[in-house]
């Protein structure tokens, strides 16, 4: 019996060993065949246009889910940008007493292109809030007016004069009217703009948005003389500033995207939100999900296919991106580019009637700030070209390798203080 038990226990042990060895053989075989399969199915050289049915890294996954196409060259929402100096604007020899900045979107009326913009003409360049008075500007956009220009070809512009002057104190915008954009609605024209009631920089860059309206793009413009998009409740993200109003007509409603800032300069973080209305005079209701963008200074937008696309330039983790929201609300990064136009005002033939079939953009005006020597800060308007249009196919605008003169990099040199710290 004891023998039987020993035999039985031996045979149990050997059975176990046998099973173990069979299992490890199978494992080896399995892992060999996995390696074999992986080797067979390495990612193809000819990049698939559709998402392949295979395990993907996060980067390759988002190549197919976040972007319209895997190659930027084929991506209608990727573009590089080219710039041209404009003819027709005088800057008083660049002495800082004349500045033009923050162009509106461009529309075509009466066979001509129209643009509106901030124009400052002051006896001195900006001197900061502490030195500002009734004639000395604090910032480049203090003591400004809204002017307009027209063009036959988008390169040569003719300045037509003031559209919206500063109203008398204490009306909205008495200190400065700046950073405008145009809406056309039921045959009338509406200019939305920032209306300053104190010199910018006094407490921050604080202002609400107001408007003027006209029957013709040439005016005369009548000021609404009231706040149209008010600042938020105390303690909320847009409590002090509503900047860069950008009106579009989308889904039959007026959509005005705008910028506000968490905190004040220089430590602020920008966000961009949306206010919507059924009539240009309001009332405007702010979207409950605001802010809709976590980045982007002077964000400009355009109808694209059934949704809205945006150039998100400067400021924030997602600066230098082109974003897209099929519903105009939930934006995702659709492309990353460089040298994006600052404060772009694109030519937008379908800004007010895209009907869910936005065609995109291929040119517009933007600005360059910080012109002149240190004490002569002013801005100029310039033209940008790109291919973010479904109607344009310009491979020269899909360049991901931008070569810049090394001087551009060296101009971003270390300060003396930084250099001293690094030398130690
Ligand atoms: C711009 C815009 C708004 C700000 C100031 C003038 O870049 O964001 O217009 O108020 O700077």
**Each residue's pLDDT tens digit, 114-127:** 999 999 999 999 99
Q: Name which of 247, 277, 272 is nearest 348 in CA terms.
A: 247
Distance 179 CA to ligand 1 centre (A): 7
Cα 287 to Cα 112: distance, rounded to the nearest angstrom:
35
Helix (H, G, I), strand (E, B) or coil at 325: strand
Q: Name which of 228, 224, 274, 269 is nearest 247 in CA terms.
A: 274
The conformation of residue 186, written as its DSSP 8-state character, comes to T
Q: pLDDT (tens digit, 9 = 90+) per residue, 175-227? A: 999 999 999 999 999 999 999 999 999 999 999 999 999 999 999 999 999 99
Cα 16 to Cα 182: distance, rounded to the nearest angstrom:
82
> What's the pTM?
0.89
Cα 64 to Cα 43: distance, rounded to the nearest angstrom:
14
Which residue out of 116, 178, 258 has the highest number of ligand 1 atoms within 8 Å of its CB and is therefore the one to mutate?
A: 178
Q: pLDDT (tens digit, 9 = 90+) per residue, 328-377? A: 999 999 999 999 999 999 999 999 998 899 999 999 999 999 998 877 89
Handedness of CA 296, 299, 304, 307 (dihedral sign): positive
- For residue 418, report the phi and psi dihedrals to the nearest 5 degrees: -60, -40
Q: What pLDDT sits at residue 40?
A: 56
Q: Which atom of ligand 1 is nearest to the CA of 369?
A: 7
- For the chain, domains (ranges, CATH) are 81-410 (2.115.10.20)
Whether 366 is in the pocket of ligand 1, judged by its Cβ within 6 Å, is: no
pLDDT > 90 in the chain, percent: 84
Distance 14 CA to ligand 1 centre (A): 82
Q: pLDDT (tens digit, 9 = 90+) per residue, 227-255? A: 999 999 999 999 999 999 999 999 999 99
User: Bridge-partner residues for 332, per DSSP?
Assistant: 324
Distance 411 CA to ligand 1 centre (A): 24
Residue 39 banded pLDDT, cuts 50, 70, 90: low
Average of per-residue pLDDT across 51-74 = 95
Distance 298 CA to ligand 1 centre (A): 7
Tokens of 279: 């009539």
Average of per-residue pLDDT across 371-397 = 94
Tokens of 121: 């003409």
Does the pLDDT at position 411 exceed 50?
Answer: yes
Which residue out of 118, 141, 200 has the highest number of ligand 1 atoms within 8 Å of its CB and is therefore the one to mutate?
A: 141
Whether 297 is in the pocket of ligand 1, judged by its Cβ within 6 Å, is: yes
Average per-residue pLDDT for the chain = 91
User: Bridge-partner residues for 133, per DSSP?
Assistant: none
**Are the beta carbons of 308 and 326 closer than 8 angstroms?**
no
**Are the beta carbons of 172 and 197 closer than 8 angstroms?**
yes
Whether 244 is in the pocket of ligand 1, judged by its Cβ within 6 Å, is: yes
Instruction: Identify the residue whose C-alpha is closest to ligand 1 atom 5.
Output: 141
Q: What pLDDT sits at residue 41?
A: 78
Cα 240 to Cα 245: distance, rounded to the nearest angstrom:
14
Distance 4 CA to ligand 1 centre (A): 95
């Amino acid at each position: 019996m004891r023998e039987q038990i020993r035999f039985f226990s031996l045979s149990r042990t050997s059975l176990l060993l046998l099973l173990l060895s069979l299992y490890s053989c199978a494992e080896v075989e399995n892992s060999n065949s996995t390696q074999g399969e992986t080797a067979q199915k390495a990612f193809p050289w000819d990049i698939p246009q559709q998402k392949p049915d295979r395990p993907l890294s996060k980067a390759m996954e988002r190549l197919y889910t976040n972007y319209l196409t895997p190659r930027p060259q084929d991506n209608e929402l990727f573009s590089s940008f080219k710039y041209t100096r404009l003819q027709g604007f005088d800057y008083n020899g660049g002495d800082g007493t004349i500045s033009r900045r923050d162009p509106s979107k461009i529309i075509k009326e009466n066979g001509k292109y129209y643009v509106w913009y901030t124009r400052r003409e002051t006896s001195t360049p900006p001197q900061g809030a502490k030195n500002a008075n009734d004639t000395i500007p604090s910032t480049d956009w203090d003591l400004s007016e809204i002017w307009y220009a027209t063009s036959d070809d988008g390169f040569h512009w003719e300045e037509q004069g003031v559209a919206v002057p500063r109203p008398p104190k204490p009306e909205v915008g008495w200190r400065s009217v700046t950073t405008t954009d145009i809406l056309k609605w039921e045959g009338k024209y509406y200019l939305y703009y920032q209306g300053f009631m104190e010199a910018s920089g006094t407490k921050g860059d604080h202002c609400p948005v107001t408007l003027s309206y006209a029957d013709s793009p040439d005016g005369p413009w009548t000021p609404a003389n009231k706040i149209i998009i008010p600042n938020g409740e105390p303690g909320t993200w847009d409590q002090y500033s509503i900047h860069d109003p950008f009106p579009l007509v989308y889904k039959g409603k007026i959509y005005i995207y705008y910028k506000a800032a968490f905190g004040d300069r220089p430590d602020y973080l920008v966000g961009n939100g949306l206010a919507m209305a059924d009539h240009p005079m309001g009332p405007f209701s702010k979207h409950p999900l605001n802010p809709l963008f976590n980045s982007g200074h002077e964000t400009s937008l355009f109808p694209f296919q059934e949704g809205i696309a945006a150039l998100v330039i400067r400021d924030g983790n997602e600066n230098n991106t082109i974003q897209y929201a099929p519903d105009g609300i939930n934006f995702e990064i659709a492309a990353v580019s460089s040298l994006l136009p600052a404060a772009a005002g694109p030519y937008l033939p379908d800004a007010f009637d895209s009907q869910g079939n936005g065609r995109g953009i291929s040119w517009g005006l933007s600005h360059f700030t910080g012109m002149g020597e240190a004490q002569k800060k002013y801005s100029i308007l310039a033209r940008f070209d790109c291919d973010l249009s479904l109607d344009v196919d310009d491979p020269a605008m899909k360049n991901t390798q931008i070569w810049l003169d090394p001087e551009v990099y060296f101009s971003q040199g270390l300060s003396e203080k930084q250099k001293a710290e690094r030398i130690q």
